[in-house]
Amino acid sequence: MPKLVLGVSGSISCYRACDLARDFMRAGYEVRVALTDSAQKFVSPVLFETLTGQACLVDVFDEPERGRMAHIDWARQADVLVLAPATASLLNRVAAGIGDDMLAAIAIAYEGRIVVAPAMNPSMLASEPTQEALRLLEARGAVIVEGQEGDVASGELGQGKLAPNAQIVEATLALARASRSLAGLRVLVTSGPTREPIDDVRFLSNRSSGKMGVAIAKAAWTMGAEVAFVTGPTALPDPRYAKVHRVQTADEMLRAALSEIGNADLVVAAAAVADYRPAQRVEGKLRRGDEPMALELLPNPDVIANLAQRALPQATLCAFAAEPGEGLEEARAKLRRKGVHAIAVNDVSRADIGLESDENDLALVTEASEARSGKMSKLRCALWLLENLAALHRERGAGASLAEKVGEAGV
Ligand code: CTP
């Protein structure tokens, strides 16, 4: 039975969380409840414990199983975390990473996508910090179930009432479906720049930060995939949930990626591979001189084109294209040249997205279709991209099995 943690904070609407806990149980979840101190002023943990048959967690030092650190334990075991009702205080603390009570600590330790149903006074909801917190949480993949307009406890009319329970359950089930859309698939991601050495202290490289590749690895993991991640040098920490290969050069990237290709169902090439490398690497350090100097460059192997030749027949491959402007036709030509099934196009003439930025805006081009993500956080873009690639992979699989069936029938 999937495990759901319901985080209840101190809005007047927290009495509705009692029904919500039961609704989630009816939807097939084992429900455990964590309450903030303020929530306990409105409803007692005993009520939730009786309704759910599970012990509640309330204090940050609660330790039902000694030595297991309950906030980490609950966060790891949860298939889904729902904050409903989520007050301004809870939202702001979770967004800022302040785990000063049990519920906030669980939410910060939780690595999947959170469902958030805000409930508060309209002015608190409209306030800058709360709006910023909602934006931050959404950029990190949270699903926000918007509150309703109506008369709130203070007697005002406005936005801020907790969404109907049915909507919160529906959003949670939709997220659970999305979280399974790559279940059982193995995803290979290339990411970051490569560094092509000139001598022992200098190299050719580019401005890729690796953020998009990390977002794709994380998104693939939250959608249930097993992830292999081949990355050039970046300042980002390794994604904890992936098998990581750290490489420097295009040649090393090719070797590491080839070692994974035989296992990959889906390949996403987000790396900004240097197209050329110095013909010779100088031992030690090139010395300064007064004469002009020419650097001879050799073309690097095309990593994704090589992967396309060695991939499993059922594998679906997506490359990226950096285009100044729309570039959809160029992308389609690249699709054929590299032997991939899709190309995600970045408009590199825009300063507000792509290279080094935290946001992106992708166009996904296949032989038969075009789709646009709109401008979003890189994680949101990655989720959007993988949803589309999962659908393409299913379509291709359906096509292949139909062809096999036709073959079997001897038609
Ligand atoms: N790529 C690769 N190996 C290379 C070069 C590129 O795997 N040696 C992959 C990148 O990871 C990316 C895509 O190919 O998925 C980018 O293709 P590329 O031909 O480099 O195109 P652009 O960077 O868009 O630029 P251009 O073709 O204009 O040079």
For ligand 1, atom 9: residue with the closest CA: 304
Query: What is the pLDDT confidence band of residue 46, given thresholds at 50, 70 and 90?
Result: very high
Cα separation values, 235 from 203, 231, 232, 356, Å:
16, 11, 10, 11
Which ligand 1 atom is nearest residue 307's CA? 7
Pocket of ligand 1 (CB under 6 A): 190, 250, 269, 271, 273, 275, 300, 302-304, 319-322, 334
**8 C-alpha to center of ligand 1: Å?**
48
In this predicted model, what pLDDT tens digit does every residue of 2-31 receive, in sequence order? 999 999 999 999 999 999 999 999 999 999
Note the pLDDT of residue 400.
Answer: 55
- For residue 407, pLDDT over 60 is answered with no
For ligand 1, atom 25: residue with the closest CA: 322
In this predicted model, what pLDDT tens digit does every residue of 258-272 receive, in sequence order? 999 999 999 999 999
Look up residue 287 and give its DSSP letter: P
Which ligand 1 atom is nearest residue 306's CA? 7
In this predicted model, what pLDDT tens digit does every residue of 225-245 receive, in sequence order? 999 999 999 999 999 899 999
- Cβ distance 180 to 223 under 8 Å? yes
For ligand 1, atom 17: residue with the closest CA: 321
- For residue 402, pLDDT over 70 is answered with no
Look up residue 269 and give its DSSP letter: E
DSSP annotation string for 144-204 = E-PPEEEE-TTS-EEEEEPPPHHHHHHHHHHHHHHTTTTTT-EEEEEESB--EESSSS-EE
Best of 191, 212, 302 to mutate for ligand 1, by most ligand atoms within 8 A of CB?
Answer: 302
- For residue 410, pLDDT over 70 is answered with no
**231 C-alpha to center of ligand 1: Å?**
15
Residue identified by tokens 């166009």 is 363
**403 C-alpha to center of ligand 1: Å?**
32
- For residue 212, pLDDT over 50 is answered with yes
Query: What is the pLDDT confidence band of residue 353, given thresholds at 50, 70 and 90?
Result: confident
In percent, the amount of the chain with pLDDT more than 70 equals 96
Note the pLDDT of residue 403.
Answer: 44
Query: Angle at the Cα of 42 (from 36 to 45), degrees rounded to 5?
Result: 60
**83 C-alpha to center of ligand 1: Å?**
42
Rounded to 10°, the helix 16-26/165-178 angle is: 40
* Structure tokens, 62: 């609660």
Average pLDDT, the chain: 92
Residue identified by tokens 């980002």 is 236
Which ligand 1 atom is nearest residue 320's CA? 15
**121 C-alpha to center of ligand 1: Å?**
50
Catalytic residues: 206
- Cβ distance 369 to 391 under 8 Å? no
Residue identified by tokens 């302040």 is 98
- 163 backbone φψ class: left, alpha, beta (φ>0; ψ -120 to 50): beta
The answer to whether the predicted template modeling score (pTM) of the entire model surpasses 0.95 is no
In this predicted model, what pLDDT tens digit does every residue of 129-175 receive, in sequence order? 999 999 999 999 999 999 888 777 777 777 889 999 999 999 999 99
- For residue 280, pLDDT over 50 is answered with yes
Query: What is the pLDDT confidence band of residue 409, given thresholds at 50, 70 and 90?
Result: very low
Q: Give the mean model confidence (pLDDT) for residues 320-326.
A: 85
* Structure tokens, 22: 């039961």
Which ligand 1 atom is nearest residue 319's CA? 15
Best of 320, 326, 362, 365 to mutate for ligand 1, by most ligand atoms within 8 A of CB?
Answer: 320
Q: What is the Cα–Cα distance from 409 to 403, expressed in whole angstroms?
A: 10
φ/ψ of residue 125, rounded to 5:
-65, -40
For ligand 1, atom 12: residue with the closest CA: 320
**320 C-alpha to center of ligand 1: Å?**
7
